[in-house]
Structure 1
Amino acid sequence: MTSRPTAGVVTDPPPGAAHALGTLWIAVTEAGGAVDFVPGWPEHEIRAQAEELIAAVRAGRSRMIVVGDPSDPDGTVFVTPGTGITAHRGEVGRLMVRPDLQGHGLGTVLLDAAVAEGTAMGLEQLTLGARGGTSLPEFYRSRGWELTGVLPNGVRLSAGDARDVHLFHRALVRPGP
């Protein structure tokens, strides 16, 4: 019997982490994954976003959660805490699993780890957005996330393909009276 993979928090990404994240992000995008880009998007733009995300992790503005080696991840997700009047909540984003490993529960492992990390950070709630026209809204709903609204035509994939963004919420810690 195979054991369930585990996810770990990476607070100090190793050298090459941005390149590895970019490589994962490109692979997921080219496979049709709903992570900010569409197939055929210029790779240098995806890699630039990966550099910015790793810089945010190094600066402590975001938490990176990885299944596998941070220098060659099988999957990732990020938790970004709010600031000021939104400091009680965080945003979950860029949940990605290598295309050849999808369908084996790694997304659930990463999502569960994001919830655990948000709780450990003392956050009261997490939010996320999921592209409509994919299986993602049902994925999140089936894992206990509450649909709080839909942003009509929230992303435009091409001139003729705008999709709704499904907005989700997950309570972590119930505030006292």
Structure 2
Amino acid sequence: MGVEFVVDPELDDDLKARIVALWVDVTNGGGAVGFVAPVTGAEVWPTATAAFAGVEAGLDRLLIGLDDGELVALLFVTDNRFGLKDHWRVLKRVMVSPHAQGSGHGAALMRAAERLGRQMGLAALHVTVRGGKGTENFYARVGYREVGRIPGAIRVAPGDDRDDILMWLDLQQ
């Protein structure tokens, strides 16, 4: 059975808790989604609450992937909050459950995000990638191109600075 993608699901307490649990699992599994492992749910909740608020306010969109009811993937499509950038959005917190890595769920999630972007009438989607993990290669395989790099912009630990890689998908092609 394939993954079912749902746009803007009802953000009830159960789903919020499942999102935070996934966020913790992805971070602790080596994912670069705003934290450095090890992380706990208590540490993720404040950032998650802010992300949920953007969705609940109607500014941002949430895209989740369910595999037989289990939350296995998600991302936030965030508004730029600046009128001159209304024609494109930023994908944030792109994550796939560690136990589902290599299953094609990540590529399917990105295709679903692209479909959503096109339905929204957007010109492009943007994602930032933490260097040092090779994740930019995944995004390149699904059609994104590197448009910039800020050297050493992300400090994951003292003496361990990573590039912030800017990736772009033109939806007008």
Q: Residue 89 of structure 1 corresponds to which residue in structure 2?
A: 88
Other structure's SS at 2:13 match:
coil
Letter in 2 for 1:12: E
State whether residues 150 and 164 of structure 1, in contact with CA within 8 Å, keep that contact through their aligned partners in structure 2.
Answer: yes
Distance 2:70 2:53 in 1: 17
**What pairs up with 1:35-50 in 2 under 5 angstroms?**
35-50=33-48
State whether residues 24 and 40 of structure 2, in contact with CA within 8 Å, keep that contact through their aligned partners in structure 1.
Answer: no
List, as ranges, runs of 4+ consecutive aligned residues in structure 1 with deviation greater than 3 Å. Answer: none
Distance 2:74 2:6 in 1: 10
Q: Residue 6 of structure 1 corresponds to which residue in structure 2?
A: 4
Q: Residue 125 of structure 1 corresponds to which residue in structure 2?
A: 124
Distance 2:27 2:108 in 1: 20
Unaligned runs of 5+ residues in structure 2 are: none
Number of residues paired by the alignment?
A: 171
Other structure's SS at 1:147 match:
strand
Unaligned runs of 5+ residues in structure 1 are: none
Q: Residue 28 of structure 2 corresponds to which residue in structure 1?
A: 30
Q: Residue 57 of structure 2 corresponds to which residue in structure 1?
A: 59
Distance 2:39 2:106 in 1: 23
Distance 1:17 1:52 in 2: 15
Distance 2:70 2:147 in 1: 35
Other structure's SS at 2:19 match:
helix
Bigger drift between 34-43 and 85-94 goes to 34-43
Other structure's SS at 1:37 match:
coil
Among candidates 70, 73, 85, match of residue 71 of structure 2: 73
Distance 2:66 2:76 in 1: 15
- How far 1:42 sits from its partner (Å)? 4.8
- How far 1:5 sits from its partner (Å)? 2.0
Please give the per-residue CA displacement for 1:89-135, whole angstroms capped at 9, x wherever unaligned.
Answer: 10011111111111101111111111111111111111111111112
- How far 1:11 sits from its partner (Å)? 4.7
Q: Residue 144 of structure 1 corresponds to which residue in structure 2?
A: 143
Q: Residue 158 of structure 1 corresponds to which residue in structure 2?
A: 157
Distance 2:6 2:40 in 1: 30
The TM-score, its normalising length taken from structure 1, stands at: 0.89
Please give the per-residue CA displacement for 1:1-54, whole angstroms capped at 9, x wherever unaligned.
Answer: xx4323121253233222211111001111110111011235322111112211
Please give the per-residue CA displacement for 1:126-147, whole angstroms capped at 9, x wherever unaligned.
Answer: 1111111112100001111011
The TM-score, its normalising length taken from structure 2, stands at: 0.91
- How far 1:172 sits from its partner (Å)? 1.0
Distance 2:144 2:44 in 1: 28
Distance 2:40 2:158 in 1: 17
State whether residues 74 and 101 of structure 1, in contact with CA within 8 Å, keep that contact through their aligned partners in structure 2.
Answer: yes
